[in-house]
Chain A
Amino acid sequence: AQKVTQAQTEISVVEKEDVTLDCVYETRDTTYYLFWYKQPPSGELVFLIRRNSFDEQNEISGRYSWNFQKSTSSFNFTITASQVVDSAVYFCALSEYGGATNKLIFGTGTLLAVQP
């Protein structure tokens, strides 16, 4: 069965610190997609990144970077030089390719609080 685990419930950092959010997934499929979403206090889920199971290259976008390791079934997210505006709940999610449905399986989220 598919499962996404975000073991960190809450993280608190001071502005300008680097922070890594962990995500571990379970799936029996060889083709799948992983996503990160940000949910600020307004409630809307904001798409950050999509990664397919065949692309293990790390990705960097500004202060954001993602580390995908199939060997450990992990897809971790790092924010460099955190800012107060990064405060939000971050969700990791998994979707299978070619199944009857492409529903997203979400983790329970990590609440990131960045203190000024």
Chain B
Amino acid sequence: EAGVAQSPRYKIIEKRQSVAFWCNPISGHATLYWYQQILGQGPKLLIQFQNNGVVDDSQLPKDRFSAERLKGVDSTLKIQPAKLEDSAVYLCASSLSWGGQETQYFGPGTRLLVL
């Protein structure tokens, strides 16, 4: 079974530029998550989708971050414009369904460096 796919793996941009990350969850997984992991810290949830609806985006900086999951499968996370503090690893995860008992499976992440 294929795991969670993410691209690109690495991205270097200058501040105020835009960037987009793509995620393809495990086949059949209804719930998709985007986490931000700053160096030396644990991942922090940015947004959670159940199918194509948003369950939780309370930690998403909505003035610059946006995310969509239009057909309930793939998802895109965008940052516009990027700031230096956005330098982090962006991890996508998916789970079969929604609920605290569900195990989240993570992709390899996208390492973003903002100069």
Residues of A within 8 A of B (CB): 4, 31-33, 35, 37, 42-47, 50, 52, 91, 93, 95-104, 106-109
A22 vs chain B, min Cβ distance (A): 15
User: Which residues on the A side are within 8 Å of B104 (C-beta)?
Assistant: 47, 104
Contact A91-B109, Cβ < 8 Å, known A32-B100, A97-B101, A101-B48: no
Listed in ascending order, the chain B residues whose CB lies under 8 Å from chain A are 31, 33, 35, 40-45, 48, 55-56, 89, 91, 93, 95, 98-109, 111
Bound Cα distance A52, B35 (Å): 23
What are the 9 tightest A-B residue pairs by CB atom distance, in nearest-first order? A106-B42, A101-B56, A97-B100, A45-B106, A103-B45, A95-B100, A44-B108, A102-B100, A43-B109
Q: Do B106 and A44 touch (CB < 8 A)? A: yes
**A33 and B100 within 8 A (CB):** yes
Is there an interface contact between A43 and B100, defined as CB atoms closer than 8 Å? Answer: no
